[in-house]
Amino acid sequence: MELRYPVTLNPSATVFGLAFMDAGNTWTSFKTFNPFDVYRSAGVGVRVFLPMFGLLGLDWGYRFDDVPTAPFMQRSQVHFTIGMNLGEL
């Protein structure tokens, strides 16, 4: 889930602040599927739409749950995106 708030709606540079929460997992078969066995995270970010470059994004996320297959994975990560993903259409 993502909640965006417009900081400026100027056509030459539209800026949104956002907060998000994610939950997900992968299963090897339908027999092992459990919709309540998910890994959770949340974070904040910013999206800037520039007509010359398109959509630029910078996010910081924090992972709440341990991942058994990756015990040394960082809890906090920063992601940079260029362009829209299909979920933003």
- pLDDT of 86 over the 60 cut: no
List CB contacts of 46: < 8 A, sequence separation 6 or more: 15, 16, 17, 18, 57, 58, 59
Cα separation values, 79 from 34, 57, 60, 64, Å? 28, 8, 6, 17
Nearest to 76 by CA among 28, 38, 44: 44
- pLDDT tens digits, one per residue of 4-31: 999 999 888 899 999 999 999 999 999 9
pLDDT digits (tens, 9 = 90+) for 42-58: 999 999 998 888 899 99
- pTM of the model as a whole: 0.78
Residue 57 CB coordination number (10 Å): 19
**Those residues with Cβ within 8 angstroms of residue 73's Cβ, 6 or more apart along the chain or in another chain:** 63, 67
